[in-house]
Chain A
Amino acid sequence: MKQLMSGNEAIARGAYEAGAKVAAAYPGTPSTEILENIVEYKDSIYCEWAPNEKVATEVAIGASIAGVRSLAAMKHVGLNVAADPIFTYSYLGVNGGFILVTADDPSMHSSQNEQDNRYYAKFAKMAMVEPSDSQEAKDFVAEAYRISEEFDTPVLYRITTRICHSKGVVELGERTEVEPKKYERNQPKFAATPANARIAHARVEKRLKALEEYANKSPLNKAEYNDNTKIGIVTASVAYQYAKEVFGDTASYLKLGFTYPLPMELIKDFASKFETVYVVEELEPFMEEQMKAAGIKCIGKELIPNLYELNPDVVAKSLLNKESEVKTLDAKVVGRPPVLCPGCPHRGFFYTMSKKKNTVVTSDIGCYTLGGAAPLGATDTCICMGAGFSAGMGMAKAFEATGNDKKVFGVLGDSTFFHSGITGAIDIIYNKGRMVPVVLDNRITGMTGHQENPGTGKTLMGETAVEVDPVEMLKVIGYKTVKVVDPCDLKAMDETVEEAANSKEPYAIVTKRPCVLIKGLPPFKTKCRVVTEKCKKCKMCLKVGCPAVFFKDGASYIDQSMCVGCEVCMQVCKFDAIEKVGE
């Protein structure tokens, strides 16, 4: 049967067909839909949203040690969080096959950096597989498990946004059940004590040699020769598709699906047949550097940029100096940056903070990143998951040491609190940080499209679960006051922020109000409306940055199809020109 599938759907299908039994992940664009699709096979595969990528990886590692085929999936920066277990698991080797999917995001469509995670394969000395379209994304999973088990190695399954979110035609197969490997206590293999790890490292070096031999004859690496071609292109992942698009049959290709260790003999043999050898790869010169170190003459990043994602245009321009004809218009357009949704519970908090003069707001990764955008502009930093608390702590200490009386508010969401906010919250208590941690609890993992988390009371597989409560956790850690506040009640929000700023005791804030996009919430029965005659055109209501509130024909105006009646704009209006309608 043929089906149109995204790369993420295809990987889920591939894991199903290859007999995987355990899968874990933390959501992160562009990787999220892998587990969202694996749950379709929940009768065959146990799957979970873990609190973070490190936990997800460790869960999958444990399952592999126990003898079943397992998988962990994450976005590229998630692997930074999971780096600790994966480096050591590479030393130990597997029992059941183990795959770690890393979804890189060249061009940073939805990320804070565009790190090239292929280097993790080299760094951790593990095998790497890179599919170039949806069909391969499915098919290569089975071969990756085979490699993992034959060579006793974790496999880094590296994809990028354009593999994850591009759909292509996929021929489906059936599930092959895989007998679990027998589990027996085997400390020399699975306990990474110094004595065992010294032996393991030597084993890993031997494994790399064996893997390179395999790479030279792997079915995942293929040369495609076209007659009378003087150009040879070494390429992998989606860059292969771009090269094919541009060069068609005017070049020959060495298309690599198994990219670490590189099949250097195969590459040397291929390269020797051509006058010119190009390396077409996205981001860093990962293959090129190794090829050059092996003495292969080739051209890569001299011509192809290492910034941002490639496309056929970039490849054609870099290598052939060819550009498509483009007709431009003189018309001016205005930017369309992403914004907090109408009714977003975060708006009330950020509006409150936007009015405060002597504060610093250290923000984090999630919808609340948008609290920094105009017109709210209420945040100072955004680094990584958890840094909203801990970088805030460092700033507070630096201010304290330099006699600066600025007050720091560290901000992150419920899912991020469970991910890596808890440790920062403990640090603030333990090391007497003069700052206020704020959990913006909207009862869901928002930005990635509504995944369950330990606070929502539901698991990925749809079961009811314990609702871990950030308020109780903060109390247990030692915060004397944990103030719960509705962020859309601007008066209460402002009083809470003032009280927190002046508190001598450890004080934490949890704002509670569900994301308006959560399915199954009671319908929004009221809306806000501008009474045009009363509007004094002061534009105060525009300062809350709500997409439903405009200035139109000389007065404020609220789009009734977008408004959900959160009343934040209404509280900001000094002339009672915004009224509630409906009920």
Chain B
Amino acid sequence: MRENYILGIIPENWRLEITRHPRVRAIFKSRWMPLSLLILNLFMFTVILMAGFFGGLSAGNYNFGIMIVWIVWWVVLMMVLVPFLSRFWCTMCPLPLFGEWLQRLKIFGVRPGHKMFGLNKRWPRSLSNMWLMNVLFLATTFTTGFITTRPVATFILMALIILTAIVLSMIYRQRAFCLYVCPVSGFQGLYANFATVEVRVKDPDICAKHKTKGCVVGNEQGFGCPWMLLPYKLTRNTYCGMCFECLKTCEYDNMAINIRAPGADLLVDQKRGLDESWKAFLMLGVAMMFFLVMQGPWGVLKDWANGKTLAGWLSFVAMHAGFNFAVLPAIFLGFTWAGHRLARAPGISLKKSFINYSYSMVPLGLAAWIAFSFGILLPNGSYVLHILSDPFSWGWDLFGTAHFPWTPVLTATMPYLQIASLLIGLLFSLDFTLKLGRQTYGKGETAVWASLPVMGFLTLATIVILWLFIG
């Protein structure tokens, strides 16, 4: 297989710039982008919050908030946005919006030269990583039995996130909440490395000669990068929230939106760390646990997660946290250690090997979530027609679909779609394992020996997930 090709087909460095078309570039340079999407989403979230508040403790399948957030949004996020459009959800996410508008004291315009409103403190260095997001994401999944079934729980979660974002934006500078706190941000960042879209500099030489750096400090056209990045040095999607401010502020139109090969950023050896590794474990493990709890045949697990008894819920929390935070990483460490021994490469640390190889789980993890999403979408998608017509369960029938019966769609094909997703994910994962092995251990047989046990782990994980999904 050709080394510099993803799956031997797509060159790693292949790029197609979509912003080279003047009309496309004009859209992204306009300040209505992404503001128009954000306002549209504000409307959606207002309805979601109202539906959650008025829905109370009812079962959630006929509730607009539950359906839109945990069926439509989650499925679209995992099946379309993250794998193809990187962090495009962050582009239009309304949750940190009020905090950001308060900082800017503007909704549409720019205030060049003005200090942001608020205390503008630096985010603590010790928390400038994904650990807090890992913990908060896992903690959120502890409540899955409530937030995906009880409208008022979704309301409380959303309200808490919005309030936290506002408070933090008044204390810390820029998008500290999105970068270091938001439970959804971390996995989007990690999985965005696999995405087929990126924001990048076109010609680094132009940036090297440019002294004013509007993309960092801002100018009349836009704000300096709210995600506190140096856009002219951007090499990975992980922390780029795709706000497109850099496309607006660049005086040379030297920023571009590119379509690229999937997974290109997984091979960028910069800022890799254990925090991101654990995010990869969490995502793979949570996908497996969610299936066990939500779609599996074990009713006792569902009762535990739903909190029928406190002891049951605590058992779920202990099992869930233990598996994702300790057991899965420990198993992976065992396989990495075996590869490390087989490779006999004394100059390379086991930690380096462990971190690098952990990125090979990204395609498989994403595939597991896509497979899981089929299990949500196909049986439950028809509820959406009902809740669009009667969003607050007040007996409305806005579009004449309020009495559309629950109709599972294509459920007979679901196992095949899940198998196909997982096998494609495994293929990508195996390909990246070898590439990461060569990056870590150099070209030649050593990398192959080191990679073999990791490939074994990934294959084993796929078999386990397949067994879970299709029995």
Are A and B subunits of one complex?
no
